[in-house]
Amino acid sequence: MTEMTRRSGGYSDATGQDGIAWWPLLLRAIVGYGFMAHGLAKLFRGPVAFASILQALHVPWPYLMAWATILVELIGGVAVMIGAFVWAASIPMAAVLLVAMFTVHLPYGFSSIKLIAVTAAGAQFGPPGYEIDLLYIACLAALVIGGSGPFSLDGVLAEQRYRLRGDL
């Protein structure tokens, strides 16, 4: 495996041929979109509405935390999607997930899908557990450990740093 392939998220398969690991691109798209969708939903419903939920959960400084959460979800989602500073963006994103897990989802158990009934109106579900929070945290950890992969700003910056050192 070449140094450039390793730094840009590549892998060496069983035959020793260099290739590019495409899994980070798909993971970045899913995680980035998920965070942006949640941030936009909070923004469109109104930060005050989200702040009232946080206040009911006894989160300190609910209005500040509402805006902080929205910004983390929007900016972090974009950063992950384009592969920019993923390691740095992952820290506040994981913090948001941990707060959600411990303040909202933990009492409902692990499973995020709890089918209660199927009626003529459709399926009815119970409150979600912490499963999705853990999956998002695992995805962020995979991106931090495995790299942002192809078509990422992190990869472009790593290549520029490598070239500036004169090793290429």
DSSP conformation letters of 35-76: HHHHHHHHHHH-HHHHHHHHHHTT-SSHHHHHHHHHHHHHHH
pLDDT tens figures, 108-139: 999 999 999 999 999 999 999 999 999 999 99
Q: Which of 165, 166, 164, 160 is nearest to 8 (CA)?
A: 160
pLDDT computed for residue 167 by the predictor: 59
- Residue 22: how many CB atoms within 10 A of its CB? 14
Band the pLDDT of 106: cuts 50, 70, 90.
Answer: very high
What are the extents of the domains in the chain?
25-146
**Phi and psi at residue 117, in whole multiples of 5°?**
-160, 160
| pTM for the whole structure | 0.82
pLDDT computed for residue 159 by the predictor: 83
pLDDT computed for residue 48 by the predictor: 97
